[in-house]
Structure 1
Amino acid sequence: MKLVEFFNNYPNELDCKLKFKEIREKQGVVCKKCQSKNDYWWLKSKELYECKKCGFRMSLKSGTALENSKLPYQYWFIAFHLMTSTKKTLSALEMQRQLGHEYYECIWAMMHKIRLVMGKRDDLYTLRDESEIDEAYYSTKYIFDKDEFTGQQEKLKRGKGSQKKTSVLVMASQKTVKRKELKKNQNSNYTMPKFLKMKVVENGTIQELQATTEKALDDKSSIKADKAKAYPKSFRKYENVELYDMSKHESGKVLPWSSKAITNSKNLIKAVHHAIEAPYLQNYLNEFCFKYNRRYFGEKVFDRLIVAAVSFVWY
């Protein structure tokens, strides 16, 4: 959706509210007290849902990503549009400038709530077929502590255990497609990326890697990965596992799609954000994966994000 088309479709606060109400009722209104679904009255004068069974009342924003937010619906819709209409992302400061809002903190919180529900939406699906798994390290902000008695600053660790690096498990599913080579006049197979999941792993233990992969991958998936020490035990649930010695192979050839996802996500984050704190890295990865997995949806990505916003709360 182009910017002009967006403002033609949603020119004011009322149109945004009506669209949000339409999608919420289409997805189903669930009572927060008795959990009954689509059994309510809409009190137009008070703009509240009233459950027919227990009489509990909810606002239009209650039970959605907009819960407890005092920002206008149009702010949220503009954020939905700007965060899905381009491949790159926006900083909260730039979003604040575009909206012309006085305070930065509420705009920052709104964008992170959106990223959280993006991740919750993608968590509903599992990767199938053949999946590449690789581990990457992202630079994150870290404040070094000083010793209380000596006053010496904490030393920076090098390598995998560095305080400025956060470990991320990248899982990319792929499919094999047949194409016809014009020179040889014969069919050959090549792979194309399907879906992507990126999850922050805090400790990198076998138990954590195993829990992360089992939650993200289908039971019948086949796995391609490098020969990391923890991987054989982490993937023991799966029958088809190929582990490659990366000293003898190039990651771009053996694990091409996970390598490209790592490179592209790092470049996008560095291009927009000067520094990211480790607790919020997962939110930025959620946004990258959400848009990547819906890269062929076109204008429908905007509607899909509204569906995610009405289906999940941010906490």
Structure 2
Amino acid sequence: MLSYSKSEFNNTDFNSLIKMIEVLDTEHKCREYLEELRWNGEPVCPHCGSVRENHYKLKQAGKFKGLYKCKDCRERFTVRVGTMFEDSNIKFKKWFLAIYIFASHKKGISSHQLAKDIDVTQKTAWFMLSRIRNAFKADKLGKFDGITQVDETFVGGKNQKKSKKNRTENTQGRSTKTKTVVFGLLSNGIVTTEIVPNTKGKTLINVIKNMVEEGSIVVSDGWVGYSKLYKNFIHKKIPHNEGLYVKDNFHTNSIEGFWSLLKRGILGIYHSVSPKHLQKYCDEFAFRYNTKNYKEGDRFNLALLTATERLTYEELIG
């Protein structure tokens, strides 16, 4: 079925960008690679779910270019339908380059830089990155049952970068007047984040209850909002205000390390992020963190497989 065989695809490790470019050097190979990855040799109709190896292949100008017709519901489809690539005129080669760069760069890539790298407009690059980022959103995880580190961070709202007339009074420290609160939980090398309205105990503990098995060990700093964790969990408190950062081998260094990556990425690459889109940026950094032990090619394949939702421009700006 494939002019580029299954064995060649499966045995190919795209552990460098140049390797991916050399192997997937035509639009035809890119399409076949995605078909093999998604369908494993048996095209799946996105309209009715029919799985057949011999769906009708429709030719265009005498050539088959990936357009199928379902033998059951008679609808036409391509491998793009039902993915981030749907209704996009951008070639697979550019999409694949964007996804590989985006997934492998530790702190992401700006739309201006991506536009230069793949020769598209900045607006197109921005929309592509938004679609890719939307595909990286966290799946519904099962509850953490190991040692779970929890912490909160504040994004945005720094007065020192504003002129005096644009500054807001009393917004430093833990103020939420101009800052957005991101709450994070990390267990066994997996991190998940959630935007929360405040750092009150009721707010934080409800998130922990939803994400962590009751009776598990939860490690936090000395913030008063965690004071009632003992009712449902084994609470290990690390009083940072006393200059203590490790106690009985428990610490919150891992989740704080994740905050460092997130903030350096936002500040250094994206410069600023609106509260409306912040959760998606958090999911982006969580995706990279949670796949940090993956090979580059495996992360690229995973990104392609998770690209099963199409984000429209109207949804993005609405």
Match of 2:217 in 1: 222
Q: SS at 1:109's partner residue?
A: helix
Cα pair 1:129 1:220 within 8 Å, conserved:
no
Match of 1:178 in 2: none
Say which of 168, 177, 180 aligns to 2:182. 168
Shift of 1:219: 5.3
Shift of 1:212: 3.6
The amino acid across from 2:171 in the alignment is: R
Aligned residues: 282
Match of 2:262 in 1: 265
Cα pair 2:149 2:218 within 8 Å, conserved:
yes
1:158 aligns with 2:171: yes
**C-alpha RMSD of the superposition:** 3.2
The amino acid across from 2:28 in the alignment is: L
The percent identity for this pair of structures is 21
Say which of 38, 59, 75 aligns to 2:51. 38
1:94 aligns with 2:91: no
1:250 aligns with 2:244: yes
1:111 aligns with 2:118: no
Shift of 1:230: 3.8
Match of 2:9 in 1: none
Shift of 1:214: 4.4
Cα pair 1:197 1:216 within 8 Å, conserved:
no
| TM-score, normalised via structure 2 length | 0.75
List gaps (5 residues or longer) in structure 1. Answer: 143-151, 175-193
The amino acid across from 2:26 in the alignment is: N
Q: How does 1:1-315 map to 2 (within 5 A)?
A: 1-26=15-40, 33-34=47-48, 36=49, 38=51, 41-45=55-59, 47-101=66-120, 103-121=121-139, 123-124=140-141, 126-139=143-156, 155-159=168-172, 160-174=174-188, 194-204=189-199, 208-210=203-205, 212-218=207-213, 221-232=216-227, 238-251=232-245, 254-299=251-296, 300-309=298-307, 311-314=308-311
| TM-score, normalised via structure 1 length | 0.76
Shift of 1:79: 0.9
Distance between the aligned counterparts of 1:141 and 1:54, measured in 2?
56
| Deviation string, structure 1 residues 6-30 (Cα, Å, up to 9, x no partner) | 2111112222111112212139876
Shift of 1:82: 0.6
Shift of 1:198: 2.2
| Deviation string, structure 1 residues 81-116 (Cα, Å, up to 9, x no partner) | 111233231101100010111x22221111121112
Q: SS at 2:277's partner residue?
A: helix
| Deviation string, structure 1 residues 159-216 (Cα, Å, up to 9, x no partner) | 4334432111111114xxxxxxxxxxxxxxxxxxx11122222345666545543454
